[in-house]
Structure 1
Amino acid sequence: MTSISIIGSGRMGAAIAEVATRACASVQIIKRSATSMSAARPGFEYGVMGDGLTGDLVVLAVPYSAYPGILEHYRDQLRDKVVIDISNPIDFTTYDQLRSPADSSTAAELAKLLPEGTAVVKAFNVNLGETLVTGTNGTTTTTVLFAGDYAHAKIAVAQLIEAAGMRAVDAGPLTRARELEAMGFLQIIMAALGRTRYESGFALLQ
């Protein structure tokens, strides 16, 4: 059975926990501290930052700015995990640009900070939380785009997505994370402006 550790107890962390539940995966949620707000529910294992990671897949469901603090606790532990980066590094003070380097992505920058050979996959950043919770986007099945350089890691992520009843589409190597972040940026901005709904988003039709 797949096991997944989700670092972060916010809206996206909760949405991915729902995905994992539909996929019959065991779920561990790591909170910032024992007093961090989160909706506790039965069947989940809860821990605080610094506790050991029990999942084979580890989702970083926190802003990219929080990554250095996470790596202080978990850098070596992540060596043998599949690390899923869901971040969209938007400058929320202006809503005008991505904060990642122009020729890179948060996923690529994260891979540089982890032990060599650590499998990083960019996934879920193009999906708004509600479409993950319901598994649908409007009248279509939710599609999750992902990118990475390690075949075994991409297979594990695709299996999780498909076991949750959604469509998994491989966007290519980790270099494609830059384009996925641009898509996530556009989608969030359009929802913030009221041009689309947070309950929907981009859909990839077959």
Structure 2
Amino acid sequence: MTSISIIGSGKMGAAIAEVALRAGASVQMIKRSAQSPSAARSRFEYSVMGDDITGDLVVLAVPYGAYPSVLEHYRDQLRDKVTIDISNPIDFSTNDALMSPPDSSTAAELAALLPVGAAVVKAFNVNLGDTLTSGTNGTTPTTVLYAGDYADAKVQVAALVEAAGMRAVDVGPLTRARELEAMGFLQILMASLGKTRYESGFTLLP
């Protein structure tokens, strides 16, 4: 199985690390600094920002606003990696808008900042962390929707998801990331209002 580097050690980063472990992948967790809080686990390799990326897949599990600082360290290294954008750029000051451009997405903005030909896949942003950790959403396997322009990159992401016992669904090219971000926004808003539970959320029935 492949290796995965996760930049960010918050709840979503930890949840995706659990997905990778179920899939049999090796996991590198990259924290902001040695003092950044996280639950140390012996099965993870811990690094700090600026250390070399070791994974074939790289998950940006940080807020979209932190992307520029991440790219200061890793832009060139991401040239030959598959970069997974999981962000939902919600304006939390109002909970009423996405902060990405109305005709674009954080995934498209990220792709424009990376070297030409670098592969970006939008994935995991429609999933709440608990459904990734458990691998189930209610009584069904968790469904992970993903989008991207590079077939080989999408195959690698789908293989990770499926090896972890979940369902992977390709929704199309990277332009579909805008719709995925709208879905993520709606799901987070509904959970915060108590309309759904953080342990469940949207799913696709087989």
> Which TM-score band applies after superposition, normalised by the shorter structure?
over 0.9
Tell me how far 1:43 sits from its aligned partner: 1.5
Alpha-carbon deviations, 1:149-178, whole Å to 9, x = none? 000000000000000000000000000000
Tell me how far 1:21 sits from its aligned partner: 0.3
Tell me how far 1:133 sits from its aligned partner: 0.4
Residue correspondence of structure 1 range 89-128 to structure 2 within 5 A? 89-128=89-128
Matched, 1:87 2:83: no
2:165 partner amino acid: G
Matched, 1:60 2:60: yes
Residue correspondence of structure 1 range 113-192 to structure 2 within 5 A? 113-192=113-192
What SS does the corresponding residue of 1:62 show, helix, strand or coil? coil
1:57 partner amino acid: L
Matched, 1:33 2:30: no
Please give the alpha-carbon distance, in whole angstroms, between the structure 1 residues aligned to 2:171 and 2:88. 17
2:163 partner amino acid: A
Please give the alpha-carbon distance, in whole angstroms, between the structure 2 residues aligned to 1:93 and 1:192. 14
Alpha-carbon deviations, 1:10-60, whole Å to 9, x = none? 000000000000000000000000000000101110000000000000000
Please give the alpha-carbon distance, in whole angstroms, between the structure 1 residues aligned to 2:25 and 2:73. 24
Please give the alpha-carbon distance, in whole angstroms, between the structure 2 residues aligned to 1:125 and 1:81. 19
1:5 partner amino acid: S
2:66 partner amino acid: A
Alpha-carbon deviations, 1:121-147, whole Å to 9, x = none? 000000000000000001111000000
Runs of 4+ that moved beyond 2 A: none
1:76 partner amino acid: D
Please give the alpha-carbon distance, in whole angstroms, between the structure 1 residues aligned to 2:58 and 2:165. 20
Give the percent of matched residue pairs that are identical in Structure 1 and Structure 2: 81
Please give the alpha-carbon distance, in whole angstroms, between the structure 1 residues aligned to 2:166 and 2:139. 13
Q: TM-score scaled by structure 1?
A: 1.00
Please give the alpha-carbon distance, in whole angstroms, between the structure 1 residues aligned to 2:138 and 2:177. 25
> Counterpart of 1:23?
23
Tell me how far 1:203 sits from its aligned partner: 1.1
2:148 partner amino acid: G
1:174 partner amino acid: L
Please give the alpha-carbon distance, in whole angstroms, between the structure 2 residues aligned to 1:88 and 1:179. 11
2:202 partner amino acid: F
Structure 2: which 5+ runs fail to align?
none
